[in-house]
């Protein structure tokens, strides 16, 4: 299985901050990398697919980058509704493994 | 508009078999390129990918659970069924089904069901 490691596991930030979350794959996955946002009690929501493609309807303050083994999700200006847990997922090969999640909390 | 909804028991006993049904609308599992996956999430923990079925009946399973999982589709009913045998308390989780979106060769789960919480306890 391909292991996905996110960092940090949690972070505290203020509204308006620029936030960066990192995801590292245990082997090269090209750009087969997705990012999801999950709020408490809710299903995950797709934000970014193929490492940098913004899912329809997702605000442009979200962006993704990277290829190979190292990837980044950036929120350019954190909004109150962005406080949530974020997961990366590889779709390079099954099983499509997820990272352990990064919880973004209010400072 | 694509929607998915999971259904099944909320409580199962250890060693029993769990059967979950994903009923969907807005797409057909007989259309080329279409797929449905199952993902679970134990309370307070991360997401875990379980299984995936494609329109052509190609199936993929988590290696760690492969011996216990079966995924099937009923195209006429717009349903995907996941069975998990020999349930254990560690299988207590919210179980989600999700629509597979494919952009070129890149797959992702773009639409998710609301999830169904399953507790394993005697």
pLDDT of residue B103: 81
pLDDT of residue B53: 97
Chain A hits for B113, CB-CB cut-off 8 Å, are 43
Tokens encoding B108: 């992702």
Query: Residue B61: exposed, middle, or buried by beta-carbon count in 10 A (0-12, 13-18, 19+)?
Result: buried
Contact in structure between B120 and B12 (CB atoms under 8 Å): yes
A69 conformational bin, left if phi > 0, alpha if psi -120 to 50, beta if neither: alpha
Could you give the CA distance from residue B96 to residue B111 in angstroms, rounded to a whole number?
10
Is A31 within 8 Å of B106 when comparing Cβ atoms? yes
Q: Which residues of chain B have pLDDT under 50?
A: none
The residue ranges of DSSP E strands in B29-120, in sequence order, are 35-41, 48-54, 59-61, 69-74, 79-84, 93-103, 106-112, 116-120
Contact in structure between A19 and A75 (CB atoms under 8 Å): yes
Is B110 within 8 Å of A55 when comparing Cβ atoms? yes
Q: Please give the residue of chain A at the shortest CA–CA distance from B114.
A: A43
Interface test with B, best of A23, A66, A73, A96 (most B CBs within 10 A): A96
**Residue pLDDT tens, chain A, 107 long:** 999 999 999 999 999 999 999 999 999 999 999 999 999 999 999 999 999 999 999 999 999 999 999 999 999 999 999 999 999 999 999 999 999 999 999 88
Integer-rounded Cα Rg, in Å, for chain B is 14
Chain A hits for B63, CB-CB cut-off 8 Å, are 1, 95
Please spell the DSSP secondary structure of A19-85, one letter per residue: EEEEEEESS--TT-EEEEEE-TTS--EEEEETTTEEPTT--TTEEEEEETTEEEEEESS--GGG-SE
| Interchain CB contact of A95 with B (< 8 Å) | yes
Chain B hits for A71, CB-CB cut-off 8 Å, are none
How, if at all, do strands A45-49 and A10-13 pair?
A: unpaired
Chain A hits for B60, CB-CB cut-off 8 Å, are 94-95
Is B113 within 8 Å of A31 when comparing Cβ atoms? no
pLDDT tens by residue, B10-31: 999 999 999 999 999 999 999 9
pLDDT of residue A107: 87
| Interchain CB contact of A35 with B (< 8 Å) | no
Distances (CA, A) of B6 to A58, B9, B103: 25, 10, 25
Q: What SS3 class is residue B68?
A: helix
pLDDT of residue B37: 97
Taking the CA atoms of A51, A52, A57 and A61 in sequence, report the sign of the dihedral they define: positive
How many CA within 13 A on the CB side of residue A48? 27
pLDDT of residue A62: 98
């Amino acid at each position: 299985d391909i292991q996905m490691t996110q960092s940090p596991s949690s972070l505290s930030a203020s509204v308006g901050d620029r936030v960066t979350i990192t995801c590292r794959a245990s082997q090269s996955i090209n750009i087969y990398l997705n990012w999801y946002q999950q709020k408490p009690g809710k299903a995950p929501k797709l934000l970014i697919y193929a490492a940098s493609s913004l899912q329809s309807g997702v605000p442009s303050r979200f962006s993704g980058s990277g290829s190979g083994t190292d990837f980044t999700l950036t929120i350019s200006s954190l909004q109150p509704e962005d406080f949530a847990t974020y997961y990366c997922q590889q779709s390079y090969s099954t099983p499509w493994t997820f990272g352990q999640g990064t919880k973004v909390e209010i400072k | 508009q694509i929607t998915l909804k999971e259904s099944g028991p909320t409580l199962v006993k250890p060693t029993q078999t769990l059967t979950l049904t994903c009923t969907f609308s807005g797409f057909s599992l007989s259309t080329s390129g279409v797929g449905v996956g199952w993902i679970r999430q134990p309370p307070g923990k991360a997401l875990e990918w379980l299984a995936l079925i494609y329109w052509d009946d190609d199936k993929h399973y988590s290696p760690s659970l492969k011996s216990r999982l079966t995924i099937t589709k009923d195209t006429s009913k717009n349903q995907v069924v996941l069975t998990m045998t020999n349930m254990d308390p560690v299988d207590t989780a919210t179980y989600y089904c999700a629509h597979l979106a494919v952009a070129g060769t890149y797959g992702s789960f773009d639409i998710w069901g609301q999830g169904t919480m399953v507790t394993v306890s005697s």
